[in-house]
Amino acid sequence: MNLINKLPILGIFLFSYVIGFAQEPEVLVFSKTKGFWHKSIPAGIEAIEEMGEEYGFKVSETDEAKEFSPENLKKYKLVIFLNTTGNVLNNKQQQAFEEYIEGGGNFFGIHSAADTEYDWPWYGNLVGAYFNGHPPVAEAEIIVEKPDHLTVSHLSGVWTRRDEWYNYKNISPHLEMLLRLDESTYEGGENGENHPIAWYQELPGGGKAIYTGGGHTIESYIEPRFREHLLRCIQFATAEHID
């Protein structure tokens, strides 16, 4: 076959390569609850879907644990636990998720993702801390600990906002703190001067785990700076460029 005859085949190969290279990343938003159900879950799903449409990533959402199979999870660049509560995965599904993360997958926990799977120590290490109660919804000041980090670089040194502020237990010593609550600015904080409210970890498998404690209220998901924070967490975890 001469070069001219090879050109159509070469063109098809290059076109397929470019399409594959440019494929949008896909994220899974998981919102199953076995306890308290947050009224803000639909607003959170809608916000993430709108981000995906605008910024070029696909979004699948489910509250069905059966989606946690090795075959299904390998489709996703990131798994987001959006206000999950309680024991949401069985042993087989837990094993599939462990394999996904240990194979380089990424995790993003929002708010009550820390109120999930207390009997699964591996998950506790992944999320970084467990929920340990909260005072009523209140306005508080948040200190930006890593102002140059992608996920919080859009914020000023002190961010004032209203939400439900978790206290945490079993806080991992390996966390990279992004945001810290100033307990002197609201009532009911129990973690002292070093009260993390958003953090991340680089995982041994090559992926990332990131968590933010905001997102209890419906209003959070239409709040511009919080939405931007969520978007940047997603883009950081999927290694996508922010324009």
**pTM for the structure as a whole:** 0.90
Sequence-separated (6 or more) residues with CB below 8 Å from residue 202: 176, 208
- Domain assignments of the chain as residue spans, ordered by start: 25-238
User: What fold is seen in the domain 25-238?
Assistant: Rossmann fold (3.40.50)
DSSP 108-172: EEEGGGGGB-TT-HHHHHHH--EE----SSEEEEEEES-TTSTTTTTS-SEEEEEE----EES--
Cα 57 to Cα 52, 60, 65, 70: the distances in Å are 5, 10, 22, 21
Q: Return d(Cα 212, Cα 47) in angstroms, integer.
A: 15
Q: What is the pLDDT along the chain (243 residues), one digit of tens a residue?
A: 454 444 444 343 333 333 333 478 999 999 999 989 999 999 999 999 999 999 999 999 999 999 999 999 999 999 999 999 999 999 999 999 999 999 999 999 999 999 999 999 999 999 999 999 999 999 999 999 999 999 999 998 899 999 999 999 999 999 999 999 999 999 999 999 999 999 999 999 999 999 999 999 999 999 999 999 999 999 999 985 444
* Calpha distance 184→97 (Å, rounded): 38
